[in-house]
Structure 1
Amino acid sequence: MHKSAPLLAAFMAAALTTSVFAADDTAKAATPTIAADSTTDGSVTVGGQKIAYQAVAGTITVGATEDADAQLGPDGNPQPGTDAALAAASDKDSKDKPPVARMFYVAYFKKDVTKTEDRPITFLYNGGPGSSTVWLHMGSLGPKHVVTSSDQHLAGAPYKLVDNTDSLLDTSDLVFIDMPGTGFGRLVGKDKEKAFWGIDEDGHAFARFIARFITKYNRWNSPKYLFGESYGTTRSSVVSNILENEKSIDLNGVILLSQIFNFGADIDASRLNPGIDLPFETGLPTYAATAWYHHKLPNQPAALEPFLKEVEEYAFGEYAHALALGTDLSASEKQQVAEKLHEYTGLSVAYLLKADLRVSGGGFTKNLQDDEGLTTGRLDTRYSGPSLDPLSSESEYDPQSSAISSAYVALFNDYVRRDLKYGEGQTYLPEAQFDGHEWDFKHAGNPISVNVSADLATAMKTNPRLKVMVNGGYYDLATPFYAAYYEDKHLPIPQSLASNIEFDWYESGHMVYVKDDSLKQLHDRVSTFIRSTEGGNK
């Protein structure tokens, strides 16, 4: 993929997040006020069962290192007699004090539970890196759901927020966590961005948050699950290893949605990494699914999934062989491959030949519906929108992100203040304000490229009972579903542990839950996964 950390950071900020919002002076203050936690009550009906719950919105403060974190008390303030307490009592400006992250969260606890300590608890977060968890919170398995019932740009406000009949509260308590520096959370102290904005730094911050949370709410003996989306799956791989092998916190399960572990196989930057053809091979099934959805195939198959099986076999058979030949591929063989790709993608043979049989994600989304003046979605390729520049070679925006982001942000800002009674007078940051700061993509001393597969593999080997659930959308071109399948089939684990991983695919995109049918499937499958793994002897 990219060899330059600045380039990678710039790419990821644009690629795996949705949009960036400006913060006001309060958001940038050196010592923001810590608001008190807010506790409210609510109810939601799932599967005909009315579930009463308690919601807690607040922050938990974590240190930038294990030693610094250990010096913080339960309230996030330095414990008396520690170095942190001395620093806090000094005359130093807050920007020169040790860095801490005040991480915002919303937790939902089912009421009237006989043994709270036995009830499963699931920690959920989005990715980016740089994103808050507004998307999972408002769209997936919480008690409320943003209505997005079609693949069209939503009409303007007022948007519609409804009770989520597919909430996971029937099975597990839920904790939605915002990344350090997003939501109502803030970073404070010297070199605060450097202390938390990086693969390893972020992973340790989330692990410390989880340890503090289960201490605060006495959930050490509860069945525990991680649920990450997009870069959140990258984070989950890292966090699972930290929890298992640094904090002695066994997990019952890791739930991955729209997975990316190996950034060197990313379809968005595929043409920036010549000689690495894996992204084109794992991306081909998503191209085929998208062309099928938009009826761009010269011979439209009746059903999607049998068609995809055929494409998958071709992708890692004849297509992979042809790409491996490089310049040794004859002109006639190249023509044959281009014609087959035309059958699977709907792109013209001339374009495929011009692209040397290697079409990037942006090239595909710009050209698939170019004859109609449309750009195809990236996060969810079911969506389309007018092309910004008809002469551009690659897409210049994501129609899916543009279609729904305003609704999610508006409804959360209303919901958190009106229903959860939190955030009055504060600015909620859907995205981190990088402002020139770079995300540190160095991980565990790997000088080549980001690949966190070994982290999850280590967690699985040191805890052979750990189960993994992989979820993905057929129409996701940000993190193609077959790339996730390939990554997990190549984890460095013994074959005996391969059965600990299950795969679940949906006729939706990156945010599979924006489609009602897929949301119900997600709930049912995740609920079954948790129920099958929550018992200590199962």
Structure 2
Amino acid sequence: MRKLPLALALAALLLGTAHAAEKKDKAAADESNPAAALIHPQASASEGSVSVEGKRIAYKAVAGTIVLHGKGDKENEPTVSMFYVAYFKKGEDASKRPITFVYNGGPGSASVWLHMGAFGPRRVVTKDDSHTPAAPYQLVNNDYSLLDASDLVFIDAPGTGFSRLIANDADPSKRDEQMKERAKQIYGVDGDGHAFAQFITQFLSRYGRWNSPKYLFGESYGTTRSAVLANDLENEDSVDLNGVVLLSQILNFDTSIDGSDQNPGVDLPYELALPTYAATAYYHHKLPQSPADLQSLLQEVEQFALGDYAQALMQGSRLDDAHKQAIAEKLHQYTGLSVAYLMKANLRVTGGMFEHELLGDSGDTTGRLDTRFAGPSLDPLSKESEYDPQSSAISSAYIAAFNDYVRKDLKYGQDQVYREFGDIKEWDSKHNDHDGAVNVMPDLAKAMKTNPDLKVLLNGGYYDLATPFFAADYEMHHLPVQPELMNNISYEWYPSGHMVYAHEASLKLLHDNVARFIEQTDNVSKH
């Protein structure tokens, strides 16, 4: 999978001292050990209100950190300072009030996207499918905040946002080695899941929420994390979840259309990405024959993808020229790509190739996270796209809005650096001692089996080429669970991209669907 850029360094947080008499010694200690301040949890409380679909909600906000520790003989050793922003609706019984833990993916991305684009009380306004002009950006009341249905905890993954790994060895010469060891332990499928599980259990204790209905909401790699995390919470910490909400899912990385040409012999990604290619070509008016509507087109393409197309690809070099030509012509009808190009690509077009080629005659590249977007190709002669126009179109607005909001409204982060992405040099993909492509479908399946009341809501966008919706649908329908547990899974699709909420009409639908899901699964009315 082509990962999101992970290109920012770790930094220490600077904190004041409580007693004047200790200032001199504390300053000397901090000078020799810049991580010393990280070992103390922080919290900044504020108050506000939001109007959600016409209903005013007063809330308390807490921006702060929880410090994680090692295990076994290192249980007193601080390892990570994890930053969060929690919103609590005022006047509610905590034992009956749902609480949802929210995070983005990457791996190595902060939660700024879901915070400022989807469910926080303030939302940054961006253009629907084109580049958002530079500052000043508009921050508005979020009519679709999820605070009407649940308290919210936005969590920055270790090394992102204001979260930091902790290397506090008394010997300065040993701290670099300690930091490398921390990164090795935490920057990986299993280490990341364990860190989030420890954060959540500590949060439940700190705020007295053990008896609240509990939910996970993850986006992109956050869905991978959610599968691992749900299993860890259920089977290691005895925390039964009411529900797991997945947005832009990828559980099995063998389904990824990113770089699929580097994995010859596995043709499934091409089949599962085809409906997104068709939706994108439909949106940009590149289909030779315009269908009546998107839904009828997608239904037809899905049948072709798992039928004639899959059978043709399975034949490999045994596919005769006439049959190959016929498949290429059908792909041309569904993708808008030329028959000659499709033949040259051996009927197999990666995500990057499609993004670069669809609008190539105009010198443009489509988005990856949201293919409704387009921008000038960096190199019109390259094989694949070299950047993501959607990411370039909105990232500045999100980062500027949050940096302003967290300091002015939440009163946190002055003189600190908020990291959009973590400085992750290497991500350990080994999971449960298994090498190869990451596949956490068994984790979600185990969580559902050991907690047969667990409900799952899958959401995805038709114009998402980072995690195509048909691939997510395929994964769910191949989850190794009993048929009756399949009834615990529901599906919602939107005319948007990876960040479904970047399209306001889809944001409203996403809010309504998730709020209804929580209402139907919080078990409050049953007691």
**TM-score with structure 2 length normalisation?**
0.91
Computed over aligned residues only, the root mean square deviation of the Cα atoms, in angstroms, reads 1.6
Distance apart, 1:26 and its partner CA: 6.1
1:199-243 deviation line (CA, Å, top 9, x unaligned): 000000000100000100000010000000000000000000000
Kept in 1, the 8 Å contact 2:270–2:349? The answer is yes
Over 3 Å counting, the alpha-carbon distance change for 1:374 and 1:141 in structure 2 is: same
Cα distance in 2 for partners of 1:169, 1:276 equals: 43
Q: Give unpaired runs (5+ residues) of structure 1.
A: 1-11, 72-83, 85-97
Distance apart, 1:99 and its partner CA: 5.2
Of the structure 1 ranges 58-67 and 228-237, higher mean CA displacement relative to structure 2 is found in: 58-67
The equivalent residue for 1:20 is 7
Write the mapping of 1:221-260 to structure 2, written as runs, cut at 5 A.
221-260=211-250
Distance apart, 1:155 and its partner CA: 0.4
The equivalent residue for 1:89 is none
Distance apart, 1:297 and its partner CA: 0.2
Of the structure 1 ranges 15-24 and 407-416, higher mean CA displacement relative to structure 2 is found in: 15-24
Aligned-residue sequence identity (percent) comes to 60
Kept in 1, the 8 Å contact 2:11–2:164? The answer is no
Write the mapping of 1:424-435 to structure 2, written as runs, cut at 5 A.
424-434=414-424
1:254-306 deviation line (CA, Å, top 9, x unaligned): 00000001111210021000000000000000000000000000001131111
Of the structure 1 ranges 346-355 and 20-29, higher mean CA displacement relative to structure 2 is found in: 20-29
2:120 paired with 1:133: no
2:390 paired with 1:400: yes
Kept in 1, the 8 Å contact 2:9–2:422? The answer is no
Choose which of 166, 170, 173 in structure 1 pairs with 2:144. 166
The equivalent residue for 1:509 is 497
2:357 paired with 1:367: yes
Over 3 Å counting, the alpha-carbon distance change for 1:25 and 1:60 in structure 2 is: closer
Distance apart, 1:25 and its partner CA: 7.3
Kept in 2, the 8 Å contact 1:64–1:205? The answer is no
- The runs of 4+ residues in structure 1 deviating greater than 2 Å are 15-36, 64-68
The equivalent residue for 1:49 is 55
The equivalent residue for 1:419 is 409
2:429 paired with 1:451: no
What letter corresponds to residue 233 of structure 2 in structure 1? L
Kept in 2, the 8 Å contact 1:230–1:259? The answer is yes
Distance apart, 1:375 and its partner CA: 0.5
2:40 paired with 1:61: no
Kept in 1, the 8 Å contact 2:41–2:67? The answer is no
The equivalent residue for 1:38 is 44
Aligned length: 495
Distance apart, 1:47 and its partner CA: 2.1
Kept in 1, the 8 Å contact 2:6–2:108? The answer is no
Q: Give unpaired runs (5+ residues) of structure 2.
A: 15-32, 168-177
Kept in 2, the 8 Å contact 1:18–1:401? The answer is no
Over 3 Å counting, the alpha-carbon distance change for 1:250 and 1:24 in structure 2 is: closer
Write the mapping of 1:50-199 to structure 2, written as runs, cut at 5 A.
50-65=56-71, 68=74, 71=75, 84=76, 98=77, 100-113=79-92, 115-189=93-167, 190=178, 191-199=181-189
1:401-442 deviation line (CA, Å, top 9, x unaligned): 0000011001100000000000011111111112xx311110
Report the secondary structure of 2:365's partner residue. strand
Report the secondary structure of 1:140's partner residue. helix
Over 3 Å counting, the alpha-carbon distance change for 1:102 and 1:518 in structure 2 is: same
**TM-score with structure 1 length normalisation?**
0.90
Of the structure 1 ranges 45-54 and 19-28, higher mean CA displacement relative to structure 2 is found in: 19-28
1:347-379 deviation line (CA, Å, top 9, x unaligned): 000000000000000000000000000001000
Kept in 2, the 8 Å contact 1:119–1:223? The answer is yes
Distance apart, 1:249 and its partner CA: 0.3
Distance apart, 1:22 and its partner CA: 5.3
Of the structure 1 ranges 184-193 and 489-498, higher mean CA displacement relative to structure 2 is found in: 184-193
Kept in 2, the 8 Å contact 1:16–1:231? The answer is no
Report the secondary structure of 1:40's partner residue. strand
Report the secondary structure of 2:487's partner residue. helix
Cα distance in 2 for partners of 1:32, 1:291 equals: 53
2:225 paired with 1:219: no
What letter corresponds to residue 142 of structure 1 in structure 2? G
Distance apart, 1:194 and its partner CA: 1.2
What letter corresponds to residue 263 of structure 2 in structure 1? N
Distance apart, 1:67 and its partner CA: 6.0
Report the secondary structure of 1:103's partner residue. strand
Report the secondary structure of 2:133's partner residue. coil
The equivalent residue for 2:375 is 385
Cα distance in 2 for partners of 1:159, 1:237 equals: 35
The equivalent residue for 1:345 is 335
The equivalent residue for 1:296 is 286
Kept in 2, the 8 Å contact 1:32–1:186? The answer is no
The equivalent residue for 2:506 is 518
